[in-house]
Amino acid sequence: MARPVFIVDGSRTPFLKARSGPGPFTPVDLAVQCGRPLLARQPFAPTAFDQVILGCVNVIADEMNPARVAALRLGMGEQMVAFTVQINCGSGMQSIDTGYRYIREGISDLILAGGAEALSHAPLVWPNSGVRWFAGFAGAKGLGAKIAAALKVRPSYFKPIIGLERGLTDPITELNMGQTAEKVGHLFGITRAQSDAYAAESHQRLANAQKQGFLKGEVETAFARDGQFYDHDDGVRPDSTPETLAKLKPVFERPWGQVTAGNSSQITDGASWVILASETAVAKHRLTPKAVILDSQWSALDPSIMGLGPVLSASALLKRNSMTLQDVETWELNEAFATQVLGCLAAWKDEKFCREILGLDGAAGEIDRAKLNVDGGAISLGHPVGTSGNRIVLHLVNAMKRLGTRRGVATECIGGGQGGAMLIEMV
């Protein structure tokens, strides 16, 4: 018999917008910043966990296997097994899903699952021509050979490649993520005005959540080594309106594209953790569960329309649990791009798509926007790639508790043509 898996607590750092140069925190720094207060308030020692699982995409050279580095810095003991998972935008949710399956099958009882990403620390990379020249120069024997090799140098060898830009470009289709969003928008007739209106609403919802204190207890203050502290998501622009966003030029498909810097997710640094527990751990440590994970689903599709991943994964998840879109009371659908979110909503309303792709008898129906991303999303918060899947699960639980709803779904598109979804029920 599969055992129930509970979410008992969680926390995250503020999401900090990447500006010029590396930000104040590395991925492990971020994981430690929100991990310390989370572990400190538990009624058990940090060493009581069975393992640590962390999602991270842009692992930096000084932090190989950041899960293990974070576990040691968090005082979880030298015996703590810790490993890092990577499935692009789904990495933070994959950590939860992997922990969920370990506990469900009776292998573990208490797991710390998270995501950490510092996109501002993405490296600059030498071009291959420069690497080959340097290798030839280093391998040259004798002064004459060294001089001959040095004379072959060209200025272009030292022109850096932006690693993040390449990382956000699909290697199969050669489309960057913004271009895939443009394609989804084209397929479903999403207009620029609709995208800008959605983006403005995301900022206004996050600004309201901050003002009303809805994120209290979820966002932990992060303290940098220079003494500065960060206590809120700093990418929010409360004054955003469809009219102001309409003034921005397209970024990826000029001049007629609709994806702009204003209706896209922001390049951001941040980390998030959730604590997963079995019934045995709940009883042993006298924990109070917040929610139970009912099911999860991963799906895959054409990388050029990766933004539709949530439609496939969430639909399969609901079908297996004999549920419809209308049975879900609260949704977190990661806002990679406004156009992409709107494309997903349009796909569920499209009868032909639902019949031919989802295998349904007709259109799946409409998701009430009042139930979707109630406190904003990645457009206003930012999208630290390895973290976002963890954050949307954490926030879904907290939002459902506040709203008094029972069942929710967290779902996301994944670069490379995949989608993930998780079904959560409040306890």
| Among 289, 333, 302, residue whose Cα is nearest residue 422 | 333
Q: How far apart are the first and last CA of the chain?
A: 20
% of residues, the chain, pLDDT over 70? 100
- For residues 14 and 221, give the distance between their C-alpha atoms in angstroms, rounded to a whole number: 7
Catalytic residues: 89, 383, 413
- Give the global pTM: 0.94
User: Which residues in 278-293 are b (16+ Cβ under 10 Å) and which e?
Assistant: beebbeebebebbbeb
b/e sequence 130-161, b meaning 16+ C-beta within 10 Å: beebeeeeeeeeeeeeeeebeeeeeeebeeee
DSSP label at 13? P
pLDDT given at position 168: 83
Q: Residue 270 belongs to what H/E stretch?
A: strand 268-277
Is the separation of the CB atoms in 168 and 88 below 8 Å? no
Cβ atoms 24, 306 nearer than 8 A? no
Model pLDDT for residues 95-142, shown as the tens digit of each residue: 999 999 999 999 999 999 999 999 999 888 888 998 999 999 999 999
Whole-number pLDDT of residue 163: 79
Instruction: Answer for the pair 313, 419: CB distance below 8 angstroms, yes or no.
Output: yes
User: For residues 129 and 29, what is the distance between their CA atoms, to the nearest angstrom?
Assistant: 34
Predicted confidence (pLDDT) at residue 295 exceeds the cutoff of 90: yes
Q: Do you find a cis peptide bond into 310, omega within 30 degrees of 0?
A: no
Those residues whose C-beta lies under 8 Å from the C-beta of residue 337, and which sit 6 or more positions away, are 177, 178, 181, 195, 259, 263, 264, 265, 307, 379
Nearest to 14 by CA among 221, 213, 223: 221
Q: 300-338 in b/e burial notation, b at 16+ Cβ within 10 A?
A: ebebbbbbbbbbbbbbbbbeeeebebeebbbbbbbbbbb
Using alpha carbons only, give the angle 377, 380, 385 rounded to the nearest 5 degrees.
65
**pLDDT value for 329:** 98
**Mode of pairing for the β-strands spanning 110-118 and 51-55:** parallel
For the segment 332-338, the average pLDDT, to the nearest whole number, is 98
Beta-carbon count within 10 A of 424 CB = 24
Degrees to nearest 5, angle at CA 369 with 115 and 297: 40
Cα 336 to chain centroid, rounded: 9
Residue 229: beta bridge partners? 223
Cα–Cα dist 91/98, whole Å: 10
- Rounded CA gap, 427 and 292, in Å? 6
Question: In the CATH scheme, what is the code of domain 177-214+293-426?
Answer: 3.40.47.10
Tell me what pLDDT residue 87 has. 97
List the one residue out of 58, 26, 54 whose CA is nearest residue 125: 58
- Say what the pLDDT of residue 21 is: 86
Q: What is the mean pLDDT of the chain?
A: 96
Q: By the 8 A CB rule, do 424 and 294 touch?
A: yes
- Dump pLDDT digits (tens) for 412-421: 999 999 999 9
Task: Give the bridge partners for 7, in sequence order.
Answer: 276, 291
Q: Quick check: 1 pLDDT over 80?
A: no
Structure tokens at 348: 């569920």
pLDDT value at position 307?
Answer: 98
Give the pLDDT confidence of 345-382 residue by residue, as tens digits: 999 999 999 999 999 999 999 999 999 999 999 999 99
What is the pLDDT confidence band of residue 49, given thresholds at 50, 70 and 90?
Answer: very high
pLDDT for res 125? 84
- DSSP letter, residue 426: E
- For residue 336, name the pLDDT band (cuts at 50, 70, 90): very high
Euclidean distance between CA atoms 7 and 100, whole angstroms: 9
